[in-house]
Amino acid sequence: MNQIGAKPLALTMGDACGIGPEIVAEIFRPAAAGGDVGEAAGAFVLGDLGVMRRAAALTGGMLPVAAIESPAEALGCPRGCVPVLQVSGLPGDLLDAPFGRVDARSGAAAAACIRAAAQHALAGDVAAIVTAPIHKEALAAAGVGFAGHTEMLQALAGAPAVRMMLANDELKTVLVTIHVALRRAIELVTFDAVLETLRIVQRAAASWGQRAPRIAVAGLNPHAGEGGLFGDEEIAIIAPAIAAARAEGIAASGPFAPDTVFMRARNAPGHAGEFDLVVAMTHDHGLIPVKYLGVEHGVNVTLGLPFVRTSPDHGTAFDIAGRGTADASSLRAAIRMARRLACAPSSGAVSGSCSTPRPA
């Protein structure tokens, strides 16, 4: 493979007890990409060689898994090979962790892979990172003090504020609050949090070449509060934050009723969306509409990091782990989006990091 000046894409293997390693292995199969190089060209896995070899066997075998010593080596690996950079410090008995169960060993391993990915991204060794699904209970069992990827990556990168965006070809939703209890999420909907979210969305959109995104802001209460009849957060918090954002030149509008704004924003055949993104106050308000359009098409993007990070729009699927039947479509979508964002004209990607891979 000839990729002079290119940078590889880093994939984390995810929770070893879930489907993460299987979908990662699947995307390296040439047959799965129609015999072409596919999304995995120029990518490598941060994980465990034993786990990835087991995943290769589970998904059909005949898929070599090769150890590499540095990210750059992935660019020279032949098509149809899974390059794995063994992450140091993983539990020695990781393969003993049973499929489909919460296990502290898999939680510790998943966290170590995330840390390694962040380190390589911050060092400029990779074009972007794509993370396979992890299990929050496994992280907790391992004593990891973060609820999930978003919070952990923010801390590792030292980012002052980040936001989760879930996106597909029809709808992009950014969240003000994420992995907290609903009662706590309502408390976290503040003027500063909403305004900071709008600023992050504006900067992120500019980084992928969209200088003036049309941002719809969903309300918190039914019917966006109905003029204060069903709650006053829209009047006291959300509308003032929108006004402040507009004073800064951000094309934000609302607050709109959360039960209809997503339909208005959806960009589908025969229906041009009124907005480019929707900002939602809570996790489920924002994610249910995107996931309803098809989990296999959705991609999770962390906005506000100093590097590009995406992930599939699904979890560890413990109920089918170990069968080799998991659908890798969302992972493929996450890889495609990572490449697009890393290669955007204003993304800050180093020249050459987005070269098109060619088969060996």
From residue 58, alpha-carbon distances to 23, 53, 62, 297, 352 in Å are 10, 9, 10, 24, 36
- Compute the distance between CA of residue 44 and CA of residue 229 in angstroms, rounded to an integer: 54
Locate 258 and state its tokens: 């959360």
| Residue 354, pLDDT score | 54
* β-bridge mates for residue 45, sequence order: 11, 84
From residue 254, alpha-carbon distances to 138, 205, 220, 241, 246 in Å are 39, 19, 11, 10, 11
From residue 43, alpha-carbon distances to 64, 67, 68, 80, 317 in Å are 15, 13, 12, 11, 24
- Report the 10 Å Cβ neighbour count for 183: 7
Locate 265 and state its tokens: 């924003």
| Residue 269, pLDDT score | 87
- Compute the distance between CA of residue 38 and CA of residue 27 in angstroms, rounded to an integer: 8
- Compute the distance between CA of residue 73 and CA of residue 360 in angstroms, rounded to an integer: 13
Instruction: Supply the DSSP symbol for 271.
Output: B
- Compute the distance between CA of residue 166 and CA of residue 343 in angstroms, rounded to an integer: 19
| Residue 106, pLDDT score | 97
* β-bridge mates for residue 165, sequence order: 174, 301
- Please give the angle made by the CA atoms of 45, 148 and 150, to the nearest 5 degrees: 80
- Compute the distance between CA of residue 198 and CA of residue 193 in angstroms, rounded to an integer: 9
The answer to whether the peptide bond before residue 64 is cis (omega within 30 degrees of 0) is no
| Residue 234, pLDDT score | 95
- Compute the distance between CA of residue 127 and CA of residue 124 in angstroms, rounded to an integer: 7
Render each residue's pLDDT in the chain as its tens digit; 360 residues: 334 348 999 999 999 999 999 999 999 988 644 544 477 889 999 999 999 999 999 999 889 999 999 999 999 988 889 999 999 999 999 999 999 999 999 999 999 999 999 999 999 999 999 999 999 999 999 999 998 898 999 999 999 999 999 998 899 999 999 888 999 999 999 999 999 999 999 999 998 888 899 999 999 999 998 899 999 999 999 999 999 999 999 999 999 999 999 999 998 888 889 999 999 999 999 999 998 887 777 899 999 999 999 999 889 999 999 999 999 999 999 999 999 888 865 554 433 345 444 433
Predicted TM-score (pTM) above 0.75: yes
DSSP 6-21: ---EEEE---TTSSHH
Query: In what order do the strands lie in the sheet containing 43-47?
Result: 65-67, 82-86, 43-47, 9-12, 128-131, 309-312, 299-303, 163-167, 172-175, 277-280, 215-218, 252-256
The residue type of 333 is: A
Nearest Cα residue to 173 out of 215, 211, 202, 204 = 215
- Compute the distance between CA of residue 121 and CA of residue 308 in angstroms, rounded to an integer: 8
